[in-house]
């Protein structure tokens, strides 16, 4: 399986602008720029898209892990926070923090934590990132 996205950039780093599109059409010529990446400009940026991908991937992976334990989640809400820092090698995504809240009827804390840790380690986006991944997973009653 392959998924495709494309980007077009015009101009210099700080004064240029770009657009990002996906084959699915969910993103079509979505604007990004230096200001959307490093300031508070309107539009998206690569790190925000990685955070969205990680939150979505993790949530699905957690649902799968819970299913293997015979549990069906009512809801899983995940926020991924991607940290971009300047290092000696240049700007680098150094860490991602997952903040998870889930309602899982019949789940106990131990089963939930095991499923969440397996999902964190096993989701494809976690595995592609060369960054520290931390998590706070809360089982809601």
pLDDT tens string 51-95: 999 999 999 999 999 999 999 999 999 999 999 999 999 999 999
Percent of the chain residues topping a pLDDT of 90: 94
Whether 74 and 105 have beta carbons less than 8 Å apart is answered as: yes
Extended beta strands in the chain, E state: 5-10, 17-22, 30-33, 75-87, 90-103, 132-140
- Say if residue 26's pLDDT is above 90: yes
- Say if residue 141's pLDDT is above 90: no
Please indicate, yes or no, whether the overall pTM of this predicted structure exceeds 0.85: yes
- In order, the DSSP letters of 31-43 are EEEHHHHHS--SS
DSSP run (H or E) holding 28: none
Q: Which pLDDT score is estimated for 40?
A: 85
Domain chopping of the chain, boundaries: 5-38, 46-140
Which CATH superfamily groups domain 46-140?
Answer: K homology (KH) domain (3.30.300.20)
Residue 82 C-alpha from the chain's centroid: 8
């Amino acid at each position: 399986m392959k998924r495709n996205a494309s980007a077009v950039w015009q101009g210099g780093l700080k004064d240029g602008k770009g657009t990002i599109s996906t084959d699915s059409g969910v993103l079509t010529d979505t604007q990004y720029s230096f200001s959307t990446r490093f300031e508070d400009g309107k539009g998206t940026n690569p790190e925000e898209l990685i955070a969205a991908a990680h939150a979505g991937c993790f949530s699905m992976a957690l649902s799968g892990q819970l299913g293997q334990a015979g549990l069906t989640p009512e809801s899983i809400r995940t926020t991924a926070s991607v940290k971009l820092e300047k290092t000696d090698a240049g700007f680098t995504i150094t860490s991602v923090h997952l903040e998870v809240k889930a309602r899982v009827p019949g789940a106990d804390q131990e089963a939930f934590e095991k499923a969440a840790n397996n999902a964190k380690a096993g989701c494809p986006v976690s595995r592609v990132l060369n960054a520290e991944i931390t998590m706070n997973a809360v089982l809601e009653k």
